[in-house]
A and B are shown apart, each in its own frame.
Chain A
Amino acid sequence: MTKKMQSLVCRECGKEYPTLDIHVCELCFGPLEVKYDYAAIKQAISREKILAGPKSLWRYVDLLPVEGTNFIGKHAGFTPLVHAKNLGSFLGLDNLYIKNDCVNHPTLSFKDRVVAIALTRARELGFETVACASTGNLANSVSAHAASAGMKCYVFIPGDLEAAKVLGNLIYRPNVIEIEGNYDDVNRLCSEIAGERHWAFVNINIRPYYAEGSKTLAFETAEQLGWRAPDQVVVPMASGSLLTKIWKGLKEFEKVGILDSVSTKINGAQAEGCSPIATAFRNGRDFFKPVKPDTIAKSLAIGNPADGYYALKTAAESHGAMDAVTDDEIVESIKLLAQTEGIFAETAGGVTIGVLRKLVKQGLIKKDEVTVAYITGNGLKTQEAVVDSVGRPTRIQPSLKHFTQTFGIEESP
Chain B
Amino acid sequence: MAKLRFHIRYPEERIPDPILYQIGKEYEVITSIRRADVRETTGWLDVEFTGDADEVDRAIEALRQKGCIVDPIELNVVE
Question: Closest CB of chain A to B36's CB: distance in Å?
Answer: 10
Contact status B71-A138, CB under 8 Å: no
Cα-based distance from A339 to B67 in the complex (angstroms): 48
Cα-based distance from A135 to B72 in the complex (angstroms): 18
Contact among A29, A137, A192 for B46, CB-based, below 8 A: A29
Contact status B76-A28, CB under 8 Å: no
Q: Which residues of B contact A12 (CB under 8 A)?
A: 35
Question: Closest CB of chain B to A310's CB: distance in Å?
Answer: 12
Q: Which residues of B contact A238 (CB under 8 A)?
A: 79
Contact status A183-B78, CB under 8 Å: yes
Contact status A23-B74, CB under 8 Å: yes
Contact status B71-A304, CB under 8 Å: yes
Q: Which residues of B contact A135 (CB under 8 A)?
A: 78-79
Contact status A188-B35, CB under 8 Å: no
Contact status A306-B75, CB under 8 Å: yes
Q: Which residues of B contact A158 (CB under 8 A)?
A: 78
Contact status A29-B77, CB under 8 Å: no
A171 at the interface (CB under 8 A from B): no
- Whose C-beta in chain A lies nearest to the C-beta of B12? A289
Cα-based distance from A305 to B77 in the complex (angstroms): 9
- Whose C-beta in chain B lies nearest to the C-beta of A238? B79
Contact status A303-B74, CB under 8 Å: no
Contact status A303-B72, CB under 8 Å: no
Cα-based distance from A309 to B8 in the complex (angstroms): 16
Q: Among B42, B46, B76, find the residue whose CB has the most chain A CB atoms closer than 10 A.
A: B76
Contact among B46, B73, B79 for A191, CB-based, below 8 A: B73
Cα-based distance from A31 to B37 in the complex (angstroms): 16
Q: A287-B42, A289-B42 are in contact. Are A203 and B35 (CB under 8 A)?
A: no
Q: Which residues of A contact B58 (CB under 8 A)?
A: none
- Whose C-beta in chain A lies nearest to the C-beta of B72? A191
Cα-based distance from A306 to B69 in the complex (angstroms): 15
Q: Which residues of B contact A333 (CB under 8 A)?
A: none
Cα-based distance from A203 to B79 in the complex (angstroms): 8
Q: A28-B34, A187-B71 are in contact. Are A305 and B76 (CB under 8 A)?
A: yes
Question: Closest CB of chain A to B48's CB: distance in Å?
Answer: 8
Contact among A187, A299, A305 for B72, CB-based, below 8 A: A187
B5 at the interface (CB under 8 A from A): yes
- Whose C-beta in chain B lies nearest to the C-beta of A306? B75
Cα-based distance from A121 to B72 in the complex (angstroms): 24
Q: Among B9, B48, B72, find the residue whose CB has the most chain A CB atoms closer than 10 A.
A: B72
Contact status A187-B76, CB under 8 Å: yes
Contact status B72-A239, CB under 8 Å: no
Q: Among B5, B72, B75, B79, find the residue whose CB has the most chain A CB atoms closer than 10 A.
A: B79
Quick one: which of B28-64 are within 8 Å of A by CB?
Answer: 34-35, 37, 42, 46, 48
Could you write out 17 A-B pairs with CB less than 8 Å apart? A28-B34, A28-B46, A29-B5, A29-B46, A138-B79, A186-B78, A191-B72, A191-B77, A238-B79, A239-B79, A287-B37, A289-B42, A290-B69, A302-B78, A304-B71, A305-B76, A306-B75
